[in-house]
Amino acid sequence: MQVSKLKIFSGNANLPLSHAVCRFLGIPLGRANVRKFSDGEIFVEIDENVRGMDVFVVQPTCTPVNDNLMELLIIMDALKRASAGTVTAVIPYYGYARQDRKVAPRTPITSKLVADLIQAAGASRVLAIDLHAGQIQGFFNIPVDNLFAMPVIIDYLGSAKSDNLTVVSPDAGGTERARAMAKRLNAQLAVIDKRRPRPNVAEIMYVVGDVEGRDTIIVDDMIDTAGTITLAASALIEKGAKSVRACASHGVLSGPALDRLNESKLSEVIVTDTIPSDGRVAQCPKLKVISVAEVLGEAIRRIYYGESVSSLFS
């Protein structure tokens, strides 16, 4: 494809995904020097001409969140000062997305603050995958394309599809996501009522829906400490589920997550490579990582050529 004015750059957050996107597009990854001074300050130097180019910066803001966010901001600032025509922030995993509203008095709305920082750094557009809350798109005054990892997960599940399948939402807020997947898989739907007394702590109350004797798959947007997913799996087994798998777009997998997954009732845990696996598959044999590089690459191609992005998922 003729993409003479298209450039892809990357920070250090997920270089394997950036290279995979470039392979799909048939172009090399842009040359940039992204490193730290001895005191931890981030330094960026763009090593090729970007004047008038349409530039995409692939950088999930995953752990270490603040370092990766600053890399993204500084790379975009360097590109704008190098006279790039447009700069699109490709953020497969949008950190701070869970802080999307005031949950108590005198607390911040940090995902809005991050949106302001991204715009101030010079982003012309944002491309993300499965934002934790759809309203985050409204925090920006520039176009935001929120892509979905569900099609690649469904393609994977299709090879081992069960006629006795129930898709389960681990909380009421994820019901729409679970219903959409259940429709695509021609499966039944169940919902788990969850209470969260404090951050990263979940308490399962009861299961709404019939799961007895059925193969079940829990679907969520992310797995962080894996408390919700593993408690949900136990609740489903107690209600007579035949088997339990889980899938999520973002495998944050922080703290005790891997130990919890290994010790859980889950037979398989499916995540995408929006966040690098960092050898976690070796630590957790239940973990299966599938790639969203083609989804990102096709979305970038369509944006570059001015084609519809939403039709990717129609």
Active site residues: 194
**Tokens, residue 293:** 């590089």
Query: Which segments of 188-292 does DSSP mark as H helices, in order?
Result: 227-238, 257-263, 280-283
How many whole angstroms separate alpha carbon 289 and alpha carbon 36?
A: 30
Residue length of the chain? 314
Q: Contact, 32 vs 7, CB < 8 A?
A: no
d(CA 160, CA 15): 30
Using CA atoms, how far apart are residues 9 and 6, in angstroms rounded to an integer? 10
Q: Are strands 144-147 and 201-208 parallel, antiparallel or unpaired?
A: unpaired
At position 115, the amino acid (one-letter code) is A
Bridge partners (DSSP) listed for residue 287: 269
112 to 102, 141, 150, 240: CA distances (angstroms): 11, 11, 25, 42
Helix ranges, the chain (H): 15-25, 65-81, 110-120, 150-158, 175-185, 227-238, 257-263, 280-283, 293-305
User: How far is it, in rounded angstroms, from Cα 118 to Cα 140?
Assistant: 9
Provide the pairing of β-strand 215-223 with 243-251.
parallel
| Contacts with 306 (C-beta within 8 Å, 6 or more apart), sequence order | none
CA-based radius of gyration for the chain:
20
